[in-house]
Amino acid sequence: MEKACKDCKYISKGTNKCPLCGGERLTDRWSGEVIIINPEASEIAKKLGIKSPGRYAAKIKE
C-alpha cells in the first residue's frame, strides 16, 4: 500500500517515515497523483509547494 505524507504530499511505499521530509504523518487516504520531474519549471509544483522531483498526492483527505 502506498502512502502519502501529510506534510509534503510525497508518495512512498513500505515505510513509516517519509523519505523526503522525514515526517511520520503518512496516510493511505489520498487521491490523485502528480509526477514532478522538474519542480522549477512546473506550475503545479509551485502551487503545491514542491521543491524535489518525485511522485506526490494531489489530494490528501484528513
Which residues are near Zn ion by CB under 5 A?
A: 5, 7-8, 10, 18, 20-21, 23
Nearest-approach distance from CB 26 to Zn ion, in angstroms: 8
Closer to Zn ion by Cβ: residue 12 or 42: 12
Contact between 56 and 9 under an 8 Å Cβ cutoff? The reply is yes
CA-angle at 49, arms to 6 and 12, nearest 5°: 40
In angstroms, give the least distance from the CB of 32 to Zn ion: 17
CB of 14 to Zn ion, least distance (A): 15
